[in-house]
Amino acid sequence: MKDLYHALRDFIRKDFEWAIYGPVMLYLGISIFINYTAVVDLDMIPNGRTVGDRIIYFGLLYGVAYYLAAFIGQWKTDTNYLKDWRFWVTSLGLVVIALLPKLHYFKLIDALSMEGSIGEKQFVSKCHFFVNQLFLTVVGLGIMWVVLRKWVSFDVGLRGGWKKLKPYFLILAMVTPLIVAASFLPDFQRAYPQYKPWQFQEVFGLSMQQRAAIFEVSYATGFVAVESLFRGAMAITMVRIMGPRAVLAMASLYCVFHFGKPAGEAVAAFFGGYALGVLAIHSRSILGGLVVHLGVAMLMESLGYLHHFTH
């Protein structure tokens, strides 16, 4: 545990500059405020009507968050990555991979065209999204590795032993009280669990418990995709091109990636994503971060079920 603490502390001491981090955090704060308040009518923005609309909306949302942090981060660093073609090609590919699932276009299954009840279509759609996210991430990273492997050393950090994972269980235990406290908030209880099996009774002849279990397994696959992309490719791989500022750009994108979930979760995504990115670079592994991320998610899901059935 001390090793992880020292790694995070030393990284922040060396890299943190208010002139760099301040503007990025200000931008994210304004974005969060706009997204989660009624100041701006987001329904005016065509963010879900067509694939083209979603490309524009998520492209701008993700692209500005990542590249603004990258542009500002270039200042006061010895790594002139903005003049390195590998930065532009690799980062663009990773941002595209992040937004692909949001387009709802490249699908393994088109749930809406299936025959069946609304409940069955919803169940398939919910489960499919996360499995499809993993599929698109693996395929996308695989294509990038094949095309760029002569110039870019791709590493998603799928390594690590039990001894290195043990401290992450302690981290999970430390954040558990915060998650339990947050679970009493109304927006948390509206959002979790992600799939609410009690909304429909007849779904493929499966019981409520069976549907919940199947969904949670599919939900878990999404975290493998997220950690491989953000803490693996955007941190471990991009730090070799950008230097330490790769973490700030990744955390900035990771924050807006959580828009649509409770506001507190979007804020926590920046700080949590940043910390896990630093630790992934330190250990050259995403498995510890996967333990924390998946553990937090399953705890949130469990608390969501608990609140529903005890009210």
* DSSP state letter for 199: G
Among residues 90, 38, 29, the alpha carbon closest in space to that of 235 is found at 90
Give residue 47's pLDDT: 54
Cα–Cα distance between 271 and 13 in angstroms, integer?
Answer: 15
Give residue 154's pLDDT: 92
Give residue 42's pLDDT: 52
Amino acid at 28: L
Largest CA distance in the chain: 61
Give residue 46's pLDDT: 53
Give residue 66's pLDDT: 98
Give residue 78's pLDDT: 85
Give residue 39's pLDDT: 62
Give residue 62's pLDDT: 97
* pTM score of the predicted model: 0.94
Give residue 50's pLDDT: 83
Give residue 37's pLDDT: 85
Give residue 227's pLDDT: 97
Whole-number Cα distances in Å, 105 to 24, 49, 114, 118: 31, 12, 16, 20
37-62 burial, b at 16+ Cβ within 10 Å, e below that, comes to eeeeeeeeeebeeeeeebeebbeebb
Give residue 162's pLDDT: 77
The low-confidence residues of the chain, meaning pLDDT below 50, are none
User: SS3 string of 43-66?
Assistant: HHCCCCCCHHHHHHHHHHHHHHHH
